[in-house]
Amino acid sequence: MSSAPANLPVLDLPAARAGANRTVALVGPPNSGKSTLFNRLTGLRQKVANYPGVTVEKRLGRAKLSGQDVLLVDLPGVYSLYPRTEDEQVTHDVLRGEMDDVPKPDAVILIVDVTNLGRQLTLAAPILSLGLPTLVLLNMADDLRRGGGKVDVNALAEQVGTPVALVSARTGEGLPAVEEFLEGAFGLPKPVQLPIISNVPECRQWSAELGERAGYRAPLPSSWTRRLDALFLHPVAGPLIFAVVVIAVFQTIFLAAVPLMDGVEAMISMSGGWIQSILPESWFRSLLIEGIWGGVGSVIVFLPQILLLFIFIGVLEDSGYMARAALIADRTMAKVGLQGKSFIPLISAYACAIPAIMSTRTIENKRDRMATILIAPFMTCSARLPVYTLVIAAFIPQQEILGKFLGVRAATMIGLYALGFAAAIFTAAVLKSSVLKSARTPFMLEMPPYRMPTLRSIGLRLFDRAKIFLRRAGTVIMATTVILWLLASVPLQNGEPPEISESVAGTIGRTIEPFIEPLGFNWRIGIGLITSLAAREVVVGTLGTIYGMEADEGSLELQSALQSDLTLPGAIALLIYFAFAMQCMSTVAVVRRETGGWKWAIIQFVYMTGMGYVCAFAAYQILS
């Protein structure tokens, strides 16, 4: 898991290269549709969204063609070949053949947004100066037409000395031209007069002339972006709308998700009962029912909530609102020494800290980037959601605050999200005023036009997310559950499994009990704290297994069992511990890689887990 940060089905080099002897790089300005095209051509599902800087790492894939195979390299967007950030550096190095694990490209596909051809085509000058066979793709042909714009593709091809095609990566329009290029013999570009690429005004002038000679007429901009900005960037209405949407999402998680959850739970216990009825009583049945069904099953119950959260994140990312959120947050971020661009990784961290840490590569300032990496895991990732939902449902009464619109449970959940964010901001302030102090880097961020998120794109995200979630359930969670079941079943006493408290697992739990008792936790919770170091939601599976093994009839009443183990102050301490502690080995591994060593990864682990312990201790002592 740690080596595939975003859990994307993208090939590694040997697999991608098998049979492919030609390498083609996809380059273009940020948010011009490179990854959408890459997905179209390879059938892979590299993440796409509507803001600049979604792709921060090279991605390899094999283009599905009828003829010979081609290795495609999707690259982070660039404005020029003068890199300012880590992600831009990747593109620069791949194009120059200076990247160890990617062959030097044999050809380049330059993809630009045709709705703003003049500025986007400025990048053609440095790309053509590489002297590689090049195909220029004018993307978003559908938007060009809709706005009444036009361009003479042949005239443009004549000007730049390479083939040019008008395409829409989103709809698939014009893609045969791309396949034809990839399958054909790569011809070198015809020599044309290029501007001096270090001279930006000259390059812009050149690209303006190209557009003029190709009869380019820009489309009328859609009025939607201005209208929506008038709303979302309104000083009062903007934040208000955002708050209403956030509250609605959390309320939905608790109200609408409950029947879904009950449905999944019923299915699990029914199938568990069925297995119990057809298998004779044996250690294997116990492993299956109490271990796997009780453990993995109690985590899978939370799939509907996680998918609901991802619909929301998907709409945020695909609509173009993300860049506006960064804009609105910039002042707050500036107060703690960061800038608005750091806000985008923080929002992605609501899904998972790992891709969020990767996406800090778009931050110019090294120290800002480091600080953002160190605070990102405080944001409430989706692995915390099952833990929060379970504990809140067990201990917080379902009362209304603002009628149907906001209940106490949803408010508690929002409070936990706010707590994580506050811890992140506090830590950033500490870091940026001490060890990571730096001069301010100017905030420059391109605002993409708003786009309507498509059902297909949201559907694909949910499908991929469900796959990742189920894969985790089938690997990390299943493995820890089976190991836990084993440790809870030995040593045998008179040939029978022991009481859990007397088992190896119980002994471990009771050994750490003195350390966690001041937090209101007993040895059962203690076992969960240890297993959840692998991944946070494992604690739910662990408790499911332990209670399943203890119950006479393998009942899965996790909530009521939990109520007998924790008091309300203890439950609050547990929530606080999970809000702060670093319990995710994959994140530790990625932090180590992105910061270039163990130092920061260890500091972060100790700091977060220490903060979790101290704050949970304080909460329990004050409340009880």
- The stretch among 54-62, 111-119, 179-187, 604-612 that binds another protein (CB under 8 A) is 111-119
Choose which of 204, 285, 451, 592 interacts with another protein (CB under 8 A).
Answer: 204
Question: SS3 of 483, please?
Answer: helix
Binding mask 223-242 for another protein (x = CB under 8 A): --xx--xx--x-x--xx---
- The stretch among 9-17, 252-260, 438-446, 459-467 that binds another protein (CB under 8 A) is 438-446
CA atoms of 452 and 319, how far apart (whole Å): 6
Which of 84, 592 has the CB closer to another protein?
A: 84
218 is an interface residue for another protein by CB under 8 A? yes
Choose which of 89, 116, 129, 501 interacts with another protein (CB under 8 A).
Answer: 116
201 is an interface residue for another protein by CB under 8 A? yes
- The stretch among 252-260, 435-443, 508-516, 557-565 that binds another protein (CB under 8 A) is 435-443
Choose which of 447, 482, 512, 589 interacts with another protein (CB under 8 A).
Answer: 447
550 is an interface residue for another protein by CB under 8 A? no
Outline where DSSP puts E strands in 140-253.
Answer: 164-166
Nearest CA-CA partner of 305 in 243, 247, 260, 271: 260
Choose which of 42, 91, 122, 382 interacts with another protein (CB under 8 A).
Answer: 122
Please give the single-letter amino acid code of residue 521.
F
Q: Please, what is the minimum distance in Å from the beta carbon of residue 368 to another protein?
A: 14
Choose which of 72, 153, 416, 445 interacts with another protein (CB under 8 A).
Answer: 445
Binding mask 71-110 for another protein (x = CB under 8 A): --------xx-x-x--------------------------
- The stretch among 94-102, 159-167, 196-204, 378-386 that binds another protein (CB under 8 A) is 196-204
* Tokens standing for residue 283: 């250690």
Checking 342-346 for CB contacts under 8 A at 24+ apart, the result is 342/368, 342/371, 342/372, 342/428, 344/51, 344/53, 345/372, 345/376, 346/372, 346/375, 346/376, 346/379, 346/421, 346/424
Under 8 Å between Cβ of 39 and 45: yes
Rounded (5°) CA angle 490-563-531: 40
Q: Please, what is the minimum distance in Å from the beta carbon of residue 151 to another protein?
A: 14
CB-CB neighbours of 464 under 10 Å: 17
CB-CB neighbours of 88 under 10 Å: 24
331 is an interface residue for another protein by CB under 8 A? yes
129 is an interface residue for another protein by CB under 8 A? no
By CB under 8 A, how many residues form the interface with another protein? Answer: 38
Rounded (5°) CA angle 33-110-55: 40
Q: Please, what is the minimum distance in Å from the beta carbon of residue 233 to another protein?
A: 4
CA atoms of 170 and 141, how far apart (whole Å): 10
CA atoms of 415 and 405, how far apart (whole Å): 16
User: Which value, in Å, is the radius of gyration of the alpha carbons in the chain?
Assistant: 27
Residues found near another protein in the complex (CB under 8 A): 79-80, 82, 84, 115-116, 118-119, 122, 200-201, 204-205, 218, 225-226, 229-230, 233, 235, 238-239, 323, 326-328, 330-331, 334, 339-340, 440, 442-447
